[in-house]
Each structure stands twice: as C-alpha cells, then as structure tokens.
Amino acid sequence: MKFLCVECDEPMKLHETRAPDDSGSLSVRFGCPSCGRDIAMLTNPWETEVVSSLGVKIGPSGEPEEAASRCPFSGVVQEMQVKEMEAERASPTAPTGPQWTAEALARLEGIPEFVRPMARQGIEHYASSNGHAVVDEKILDEARQRFGM
C-alpha cells in the first residue's frame, strides 16, 4: 500500500507507527515531503490482521531494530503455555534456574520469540541435570552436539 499526496503528486513517507490499541486498530502516520501535510491511516482489526499475518514489520525505514521489534507485526506465535511460563518466571517466588552468560543469552535471543521460552526451559533443564549452575556457550554447544543433527 502506498500513499500519494495528490496536490504535490509526491509519494508520502511513513513517519510513525502506533501499535494496535484495545480495539485492534493500528495507526500509521504518513507525511508529504514536499508540503509537509500529514495523514494517518487507521485500520480496523481485520485490516490489522491482514498485515500481521504476513509476518512483516511496519515502521519507518531505518528505524532501530529494537524499536521495530516492538512493532506488533513480528508474525510470531504466542502460545498459551509460553505466556504462562513467562508469567511464572517473572514471579518473585519462582525458583531460580541456572544463570546465563551474556554470550549464551545473545544466542538464545537470536532465535524466534515463539520458541525462545521453551528453548530456554529445555537448556536450563539440561544444564541442571548435568550439574551446571551457569549456561554458557560451551553448554549450548554441548547440548547442540548431544541433541542436534
């Protein structure tokens, strides 16, 4: 979808994206680089779903990855158990598992969000079962060798 400033005959640029509110509507603001006129595209929930189901990110080009990843359109699955696990992990009474080194954590955070909590749980179980208090890259490589093809 593209937007054209009819008066200037200039394609408009995406300036800002606001995540869907409770009604499921996404707000995307475009501006004309020539005359400065702003417009906003406001979607209904079904239109929001169309874009979301493509698994793409909506946001100004050049936007930092961190901001782009906050966009709702990451196309990932959120499964009920994942949410429950995250809630349990956030609980102050949750049992503490092995600690993660920064390098190992970076590898974990590189994989898709929807499998991350399960992967984390599995690795922590493997580490604990083998007497490791810290998950580092060596443990990940060991597990990869053990379970991976």
Residues that bind other proteins (CB under 8 A): 1-4, 6, 9, 11-15, 20, 24, 30, 45-46, 48-61, 72, 75-81, 107-108, 110-112, 114-115, 118-119, 121-123, 125-126, 140, 143-144, 147-149
- Nearest approach in angstroms of CB 20 to other proteins is 5
| Strand 38-42 relative to strand 27-31, pairing | antiparallel
Q: What distance in Å separates the CA atoms of residue 32 and residue 37, rounded to the nearest whole number?
A: 5
- Nearest approach in angstroms of CB 90 to other proteins is 18
Burial of 76: CB neighbours in 10 Å, binned 0-12, 13-18, 19+: middle
| Strand 134-135 relative to strand 99-100, pairing | parallel
Q: What distance in Å separates the CA atoms of residue 65 and residue 134, rounded to the nearest whole number?
A: 29
37 or 92: CB nearest other proteins: 37
75 or 97: CB nearest other proteins: 75
- Nearest approach in angstroms of CB 76 to other proteins is 7
54 or 134: CB nearest other proteins: 54
- Nearest approach in angstroms of CB 121 to other proteins is 8
With b for 16 or more beta-carbon neighbours within 10 A and e for fewer, the 121-133 pattern comes to: eebbebbeeeebe
Q: Distance between alpha carbon 14 and the CA centroid of its chain, in Å?
A: 20
92 or 148: CB nearest other proteins: 148
